[in-house]
């Protein structure tokens, strides 16, 4: 049986200082091994400063192409942004525009390159790439990541495929299956591996997004399948920071990451913890 390898990631690093503080605490005092940086986030500068002070934290790029601010001036992205200068929130409509409109695709390519360049300017090693709300499942966005990313040292990308068995073992009442995005995720993983990039064998955090409590995190870790797994969370020191998603239990996720029960579960699982860079060929 192959060994168990695990990346525990915090998304939205740079969104707010409450998120950044939680990332630092969860890495220094808990099981968090990686974070995905929003280079256009309101607290991106604070996140970069903290990351430079804790080089053992693996940091990747969290591309923001929906529900956030672009890196380029909004007037250069007329097909992607609204009157307020932010990306449009309707992912279905934006996705269709990106797919069918050549001008939108050109704008998208420029914005993706700008965010990669902004990450490179931080001087932090690029551990991985994913996208806010997993918009990189969109085939046009995925293709541009594959085209642009290698010039910036891209080695690993999340392909969000979540097996149901570990969830059922952790909480038998949880309903699993029926994920309409699974086909896109399988296609993405195949494209990534064909390009020689690292993609996890399984990813946890979809079904319990914003609600990865201590029992759930410990249970998933105990039930990890062999291979490379990623568990992603959204920790913060409080639940009411600006931009917080309604209903997300940010503080509980931070408590889970620093829980002694979770640390014990990791030790008992025998899984090797690290960032994607630690497991890349």
Q: Give per-residue pLDDT as tens, 6-23.
A: 999 999 999 999 999 999
Nearest to 21 by CA among 53, 47, 55: 47
CB neighbours of 93 closer than 8 A, spacing ≥ 6? none
pLDDT the model gives residue 30: 98
Contact present, 42 and 265 (Cβ < 8 Å): no
**Average pLDDT of 268-278?**
97
Enter the pTM of the model. Answer: 0.96
What is the β-pairing status of strands 58-63 and 34-37?
parallel
Q: 183-224, pLDDT tens digit by residue? A: 999 999 999 999 999 999 999 999 999 999 999 999 999 999
231 has which bridge partners?
8, 204
What homologous superfamily does CATH list for 4-62+125-279? Glycoside hydrolase/deacetylase (3.20.20.370)
pLDDT the model gives residue 1: 44
Structural element, H or E, at residue 148: helix 139-148
Integer-rounded Cα radius of gyration of the chain: 18
pLDDT the model gives residue 139: 97
Contact present, 176 and 164 (Cβ < 8 Å): yes
Average pLDDT over the chain, rounded to whole? Answer: 96
CB neighbours of 177 closer than 8 A, spacing ≥ 6? 164
């Amino acid at each position: 049986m192959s060994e168990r390898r695990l990346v525990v990631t915090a998304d939205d690093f740079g969104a707010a200082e409450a998120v950044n503080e939680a990332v630092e605490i969860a890495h220094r005092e808990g099981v968090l091994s990686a974070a995905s940086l929003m280079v256009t986030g309101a607290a991106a500068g604070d996140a970069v400063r903290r990351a430079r002070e804790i080089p053992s934290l693996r940091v990747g790029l969290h591309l923001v192409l929906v529900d956030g601010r672009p890196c380029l001036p909004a007037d250069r992205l007329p097909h992607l942004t609204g009157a307020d200068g932010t990306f449009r929130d309707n992912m279905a409509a934006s996705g269709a525009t990106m797919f069918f409109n050549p001008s939108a695709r050109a704008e998208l390519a420029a914005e993706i390159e700008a965010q990669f360049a902004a990450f490179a300017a931080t001087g932090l090693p690029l551990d991985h790439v994913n996208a806010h709300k997993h918009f990189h499942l969109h085939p046009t966005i995925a293709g541009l990541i594959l085209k642009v990313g290698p010039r910036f040292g891209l080695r690993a990308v999340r392909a969000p495929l979540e097996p149901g068995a570990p969830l059922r073992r952790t909480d038998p009442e949880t309903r699993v299956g029926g994920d309409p995005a699974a086909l896109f995720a399988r296609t993405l993983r195949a494209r990534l591996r064909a390009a020689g990039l690292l993609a996890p064998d399984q990813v946890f955090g979809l079904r319990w997004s914003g609600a990865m409590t201590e029992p759930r995190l410990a249970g998933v870790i105990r039930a990890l399948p062999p291979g490379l797994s990623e568990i992603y969370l959204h920790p913060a020191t409080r639940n009411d920071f600006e931009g917080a998603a309604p209903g997300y239990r940010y503080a509980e996720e931070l408590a889970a990451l620093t829980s002694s029960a979770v640390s014990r579960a990791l030790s008992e699982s025998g899984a090797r913890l690290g960032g994607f860079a630690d497991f890349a060929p």
